[in-house]
Amino acid sequence: MPDLLPIHFAPLQGYTDAVYRQAHARIFGGIDTYYTPFVRVEHGEIRRKDIRELEPENNRNVPLVPQLIAPDTEKLEQIMSLFIAKGFTCADINLGCPFPLLAKRHNGSGMLPYPDEVRQLLEFAVSRYPQIRFSVKMRLGWENPEESLALLPLLNELPLSHIILHPRLGKQQYKGSVDLAAFEAFYDGCRHPLFYNGDLLTVADIRSVALRFPRLAGIVIGRGLLANPALAAEYRQGEPLSADEKGEKLRRFHAELFSQYGNLLQGGDLQLLNKMKTVWEYLLPNADRKARKAIHKATRLDTYQTAVNQLLRG
């Protein structure tokens, strides 16, 4: 069996916030690095929520890399000033976000068809902030995989710590299959440590990718960990958690999220209920359908808690 690869938790907007990261690290673990959802400049400012998410006291005992998304050097500089003020010595630049509203403004994977813009942004970052270890999270391209290959000479020249590649196109968003042949073409030409990200839902999926690409430096998982928070720990220990242990951890995990979001959110029961329902958009997708439906239909916290208790006892 090959050596175990480091597992990193991919960022997902609206899901992997500071409360979630701390609870996951404390109860499940198995993660080498957690990436923040991208920080961006909106209407000339960074959202107060995003600033709060970076505070050291909100990320205790969580190995954290902040991620930014920016279409130009001015916005990148504004965000980097925040990262440095919060004490970070590394940062991830998002060239992968597939959401059309951002992509059409040359954010995320929407920048990949414009190599001159990518060059300007990345060269500015590494020259302006030599004390920061930069990584890049990207897709194969927006329209076709040739876009990432066209960027490889530039990427290979830059002093990046690593590259994270999700082998889909931006225009696919999360639909269709990953393109492992296109990933392999990038992998063959990439001189930086390369992390694989995309459609890893089981330990067998992780092992399969690791075997196919033996020079990988890491694995990055998002939705697979939201569905099974124990996935990284199970990969590390080489076997699934027992049903009893996983059930006990899931109950503790849910209780901590419920308590911490309850303390944080100021919008009353309905806001807390809606926030907790987002957790179940991914969590345990193969659990009892009737119980999952009851969770999503709940209109009061007491009925929600009853439905969750029924599912987690099942």
- Tokens linked to 193: 């440590």
pLDDT value of position 314:
62
Same domain? 40 vs 171: yes
Residue 1 in domain: no
Rounded Cα distance, 273 and 115, in Å: 44
* Same domain membership, residue 169 and residue 219: yes
Tell me: the pLDDT tens digits for 84-122? Answer: 999 999 999 999 999 999 999 999 999 999 999 999 999
Rounded CA separation 275/49 (Å)? 15
Residue 2 domain flag:
no
In a domain, residue 19? The reply is yes
d(CA 280, CA 262): 17
Determine whether 256 is exposed, middle or buried from the number of CB atoms within 10 Å of its CB (0-12, 13-18, 19+): middle
Report if residue 250 sits inside a domain. yes
Low-confidence ranges of the chain (pLDDT < 50): none
In the chain, how many domains are there?
2
Do 94 and 64 belong to one domain?
yes
Query: Domain containing 68 — which CATH number?
Result: 3.20.20.70
Residue 257's domain comprises 243-313
Q: How many CB atoms lie within 10 A of CB 166?
A: 25
Q: How many Å apart are CA 230 and CA 235, to the nearest integer?
A: 9
Domain-located, residue 182:
yes
Tally DSSP H helices, then E strands, for the chain: 14, 11
Return the pLDDT at 2. Answer: 62
Q: Are 164 and 273 part of one and the same domain?
A: no
End position of a domain, from candidates 216, 237, 258: 237
Distances (CA, A) of 154 to 32, 117, 120, 243: 28, 12, 11, 48
pLDDT at 258: 97
pLDDT at 47: 94
Let me know whether 155 and 281 are in one domain.
Answer: no
For residue 308, being part of any structural domain is answered with yes
Spatial distance between the Cα atoms of 174 and 98, rounded to a whole number of angstroms: 8
Whether residue 159 contacts residue 129, with contact meaning beta carbons closer than 8 Å, is answered with no
In single-letter form, the type of residue at position 117 comes to E
Q: Could you give the CA distance from residue 164 to residue 117 in angstroms, rounded to a whole number? A: 19
215, 237, 259 - which closes a domain: 237
